[in-house]
Amino acid sequence: MSRTHQVIYSVSNPDRKYFRIDFGSRSVLNPSIIPHPELLDTWIITAQLHKDPSARTASVWFAELVCNAAFSDDNAVLSCLEPPLQLPIPATFGDSSKCLGDLSYFSLSVGPHDARVFYGPDIPYTIYGSNSFFTCFGQWISDFRILVDWGLDTINEHEFRQPHELQRPLPWNAIEKNWFLFWDDLGQMFLHHEIAPARVFSKLELDGSVGPNLALMTAASDQECLKRFLPDTGKIHQATNSLAVTLCARSDQFCQPDATNTFVLFIIQQKTLHGLHPVYEPYVVLTRRSMPFEIYAVSSKPIWIFGRSIRAEKLDEDSPTGLLEENSEMLYMTSISWKSHGQKDHGFIDDTLFLAFGREDSDAGGIDVTARDLLAELGMCAGF
Which pLDDT does position 55 carry in this prediction?
65
What's the domain count of the chain? 1
Specify the 3-state DSSP secondary structure of 338. strand
Judged against a pLDDT cut of 90, whether residue 52 lies above it is answered with no
- Is the C-alpha dihedral spanning 352, 13, 303, 168 positive or negative? negative
Question: Does residue 1 form part of some domain?
Answer: no
- The percentage of residues in the chain with a pLDDT greater than 70, rounded to a whole number, is 93
Judged against a pLDDT cut of 70, whether residue 356 lies above it is answered with yes
Which pLDDT does position 383 carry in this prediction?
57
Closest CA to 180 of 199, 198, 161: 199
Judged against a pLDDT cut of 90, whether residue 333 lies above it is answered with yes
Specify the 3-state DSSP secondary structure of 174. coil
Question: Does residue 96 form part of some domain?
Answer: yes
How many alpha carbons fall within 13 Å on the CB side of residue 101?
A: 3
What is d(CA 35, CA 45) in angstroms, rounded to the nearest whole number?
9
Asked if residue 269 lies in contact with residue 280, where contact means CB atoms within 8 angstroms, the answer is yes
Which pLDDT does position 300 carry in this prediction?
96
What is d(CA 223, CA 298) in angstroms, rounded to the nearest whole number?
11
Which pLDDT does position 151 carry in this prediction?
86
Judged against a pLDDT cut of 90, whether residue 20 lies above it is answered with yes
pLDDT (tens digit, 9 = 90+) per residue, 137-185? 999 999 999 999 998 787 776 779 999 999 999 999 999 999 999 999 9
Indicate the average pLDDT of the chain: 92
Specify the 3-state DSSP secondary structure of 204. strand
Closest CA to 339 of 308, 370, 364: 370
Which pLDDT does position 327 carry in this prediction?
66
Question: Does residue 82 form part of some domain?
Answer: yes
pLDDT (tens digit, 9 = 90+) per residue, 256-277? 999 999 999 999 999 988 777 8
Specify the 3-state DSSP secondary structure of 108. helix
Cross-strand pairs, 192: 180, 201
* Beta-carbon contacts of residue 285 (< 8 Å; ≥ 6 apart): 195, 265, 266, 267, 268, 295, 297, 298, 299
* Sheet-wide strand order for 124-131: 113-119, 124-131, 137-143, 164-165
Question: Does residue 95 form part of some domain?
Answer: yes
Which pLDDT does position 362 carry in this prediction?
81
- Residue 101 burial (CB count, 10 A): 6
pLDDT (tens digit, 9 = 90+) per residue, 286-322? 999 999 999 999 999 999 999 998 864 444 444 332 3
Closest CA to 382 of 152, 185, 224, 210: 224
Asked if residue 174 lies in contact with residue 101, where contact means CB atoms within 8 angstroms, the answer is no
Asked if residue 247 lies in contact with residue 349, where contact means CB atoms within 8 angstroms, the answer is yes
Cross-strand pairs, 154: none
Enter the pTM of the model.
Answer: 0.93
Asked if residue 89 lies in contact with residue 48, where contact means CB atoms within 8 angstroms, the answer is no
**Exposure of 209 by Cβ count < 10 A (0-12 exposed, 13-18 middle, 19+ buried)?**
middle
pLDDT (tens digit, 9 = 90+) per residue, 87-121? 999 999 999 999 999 999 999 999 999 999 999 99
Which pLDDT does position 262 carry in this prediction?
98
Question: Does residue 376 form part of some domain?
Answer: yes
pLDDT (tens digit, 9 = 90+) per residue, 224-234? 999 999 988 77
Closest CA to 358 of 23, 13, 14, 5: 23
- Is the C-alpha dihedral spanning 109, 114, 116, 117 positive or negative? positive
Domain containing residue 239: CATH number: 2.115.10.20
- The DSSP H or E segment spanning 337 is strand 331-338
Confidence of residue 57 (pLDDT cuts 50, 70, 90): confident
For residues 282 and 275, the model is more confident at: 282
Which pLDDT does position 278 carry in this prediction?
86
Which pLDDT does position 314 carry in this prediction?
47
Which pLDDT does position 315 carry in this prediction?
40
Mean pLDDT of 2-6: 88
Question: Does residue 227 form part of some domain?
Answer: yes
Mean pLDDT of 127-133: 97
Mean pLDDT of 311-340: 65
Minimum mean pLDDT range among 153-167, 210-224, 318-332: 318-332
What is d(CA 161, CA 142) in angstroms, rounded to the nearest whole number?
6
Asked if residue 241 lies in contact with residue 192, where contact means CB atoms within 8 angstroms, the answer is no
Residue range of the domain that includes 52: 6-380
Which pLDDT does position 323 carry in this prediction?
29
- Residue 273 burial (CB count, 10 A): 11
Confidence of residue 56 (pLDDT cuts 50, 70, 90): low
Query: What one-character-per-residue DSSP string does 213-265 give?
Result: --GGGGHHHHHHHHHHHS-SSSEEEE-S--EEEESS-TT-TT----TTTEEEE
